[in-house]
Structure 1
Amino acid sequence: MIGLFDTHTHLDSTKFDDDRTETIERARAAGVELMVNIGFNRETIPTTIALAEQYDFIYAAVGWHPVDSIEMKPEDLDWIERLCSHEKVVAIGEIGLDYHWDTSPKEVQHHVFREQIRLARKVNKPIIIHNRDAHEDVVKILQEEQASEVGGVMHCFSGSWETAKKCLDMGFYISFGGPVTFKNARVPKEVLERVPIDRLLIETDSPYLSPHPFRGKRNESAYVSYVADAAAEITGKSKEEIAIITMENGKKCFGIV
């Protein structure tokens, strides 16, 4: 059984309320040895911490999602800072910009994004970046806020090679999820092929973004195996090699010994 690292999942989602334990057991049976669960607002940060405390192979990231930026208060940033001293918290995220959902004004998103990058530099934690339809502004803010000091992950990357190159130059890892398994996913496949192998990560973003052949259904961490299959096919490496490489990369990124 090869060891896989699902570097981005939401196992605390209410979509798993009826079978969370079984979902985690299926992931383990599929070879998933490590997971990073993402707490991204006032509701999901506590449930993420609880999951990480319950399972020794689940780690936590805590941050404020751009969609919820309008709701963030200064005390929430203080809360995230305190949680960064928790032994299972390995990153600040997911943070970034989302221009698809019109829930938080862009200027608010920018402010919250910058504040969290500054916090990450203060506490020396990598950051996990959510970027939807905001490639240019995400890169600009990362550069202006010296995010290269901490690096992190471009989560479920959907941009061009030019954008990926700028992120790589700042020390970021590029992570791919279910969409890279789609037959029409030309650009993600081309970018994955060009990403240096020591900067490649895989993820599910479960319960979202299910890979083929589960597209349109609930995603789960076990399905990171399908992403590994796609990465192997695209790079010409074996699935075992992809598993070993992405496990090593993930541990290095998040400081997991």
Structure 2
Amino acid sequence: MELFDTHTHMDSKNFDEDRAETIERAREQGVTRMINIGFNRETIPTTMKLAEEYEFIYAAVGWHPQDAITMKEEDLDWITELCKHEKVVAIGEIGLDYYWDTSPKEVQHEVFRKQIRLARQLGMPISIHNRDAHEDVVRILREEKASEIGGVMHSFSGSWEIAKMCLDMNFHLSFGGPITFKNAKQPKEVLMKTPLDRLLIETDSPYLTPHPFRGKRNESGYVRLVAEAAAELLGKELEEIARITTQNALERFGIR
């Protein structure tokens, strides 16, 4: 069985004491590939280091909306250059975040649009961060013709109506720990309606830890718990969900 964690932050300081051991635990759980996310000036270099150190770890690089106010033109040039690297498979995580008041909305919009345009220019998929900004995210994706490249709605939390709009724009929906939460009705309902060929799984570790470890540090190996929850919701075997989501990820990110 092969599992693919499509969104993790294994370079986080939360793993400084036991990073190698945590990665090995993930391998023991059947995780054969991961995409680590570099999203600002601090995490892009550490993400690239991980991708170069481990054959099975790939990288996505971009500028997070919370950090949008810090982005300069040279940072966009840096991302452009890094996208030539054989281990970089997406631009992300990019998008909008209206929960944390760290960057003005108009700045977030501008940085988001610039990175979609770059992704279209380079022909690369994008990984979308969307927190409390569903309508604006969908609108900007449409206006910037993001359907030409598509990508992933990371840790999808929207309604089925929003999901359908994203699916129509050539996006996959990725689900993580919340589908294991007892009261998380909406993500479970959306997952059950998502076409199997558009379904991805992730951890977003060290955040959004699935049950029964909720409240503790998340890690990539727990993507197996996400896969188990998805299998139960869909009435399928764990092995089938692992196979489907891994194949979807390989195709979405152009990994051979």
Letter of the 2:249 partner, please give it.
G
Q: What SS class does the counterpart of residue 102 from structure 2 fall into? A: coil
Question: How far apart are 1:149 and its partner, in Å?
Answer: 0.6
CA distance in 2, matches of 1:185, 1:238: 22
Counterpart for residue 252 of structure 2: 253
Q: Match for residue 11 of structure 1?
A: 10
Quote the Cα distance in structure 1 between the aligned partners of 2:213 and 2:247.
27
Alignment correspondent of 2:71: 72
Once the two structures are superposed, the pairs formed by residues 118-133 of structure 1 within 5 Å of their partners are 118-133=117-132
Which residue is equivalent to 1:191? 190
Whether 1:42 aligns to 2:41 is yes
Is structure 2 residue 192 aligned with structure 1 residue 216? Answer: no
Q: How does the TM-score come out when normalised to structure 1? A: 0.99
Residue segments in structure 1 that go unaligned for 5+ positions in a row = none
Gaps of 5+ in 2: none
C-alpha distance in structure 2 between counterparts of 1:164 and 1:236, whole Å: 21
- Which secondary structure state, in structure 1, belongs to the residue aligned with residue 211 of structure 2? coil
**How far, CA to CA, are the matches of 2:127 and 2:58 in structure 1?**
13
Shift of 1:107: 0.1
Q: Which amino acid aligns with 1:215?
A: R
Distance 1:234 1:138 in 2: 28
TM-aligned CA deviation for residue 173 of structure 1: 0.2
Supply the AA of the counterpart residue of 2:106.
E
SS of the residue 1:136 aligns to: helix
Q: Which residue does the alignment assign to 1:94? A: 93
Q: Does 1:156 align with 2:165?
A: no
Give identity over the alignment, percent.
75
| Aligned match of 1:169 | 168
C-alpha displacement of 1:143 = 0.3
**What amino acid maps onto 1:101 in structure 2?**
W
Is structure 2 residue 103 aligned with structure 1 residue 135? no
**2: CA distance, partners of 1:23 / 1:125:** 29
Matched, 1:24 2:23: yes
- TM superposition outliers: structure 1 runs of 4+ over 4 Å: none
Query: What is the alpha-carbon distance in structure 1 between the residues aligned to residue 187 and residue 229 of structure 2?
Result: 11
Deviations 1:171-213 (A, max 9, x none): 1000000011001011000000000000000000000000000
Q: Measure, in 2, the Cα distance between the counterparts of 1:101 and 1:147.
A: 25
